[in-house]
Amino acid sequence: MKIVAVTDPDTALAFRLAGIETYTLKENDDPGPILKGLSRDAETGLVLVTERLAKRAGEVFEQITEEKNIPLFIEIPDTKGPAKKRKRTVEKMAAILGR
């Protein structure tokens, strides 16, 4: 299974240097279609999504993370740091493990 990152251009650089497949979105791009496509990709096991893009995807991201166990979608901070008032990754992981 592969790891994929969905990030802004600045954050994408670090993942590309690490050899991780990266989808780069600009400030006004809608992450919803990419996230939906990745949720159906049988080869993808982990999708790292920056918190700000997850927030921008809104209901689409929430629906995918609640319905899907694989691939696992995890929010990560971008180069600007953690987003405020987002549910912490640890809380989401605990909820997934409790299923």
Tell me the pLDDT of the chain (99 aa) as tens digits. Answer: 899 999 999 999 999 999 999 999 998 899 999 999 999 999 999 999 999 999 999 999 999 988 877 899 999 988 887 777 655 555 666 665 665
Full-model pTM = 0.82
* Residues 33 and 60: beta-carbon distance below 8 Å: no
Domain of residue 29 covers 2-97
Degrees to nearest 5, angle at CA 7 with 4 and 13 = 85
Q: So what's the pLDDT on residue 93?
A: 61
CATH code, 65: 3.40.50.10580
Q: So what's the pLDDT on residue 3?
A: 96
* Residues 82 and 14: beta-carbon distance below 8 Å: no
Domain count, the chain: 1
Helix axes of 59-67 and 32-39: crossing angle, nearest 10 degrees:
10
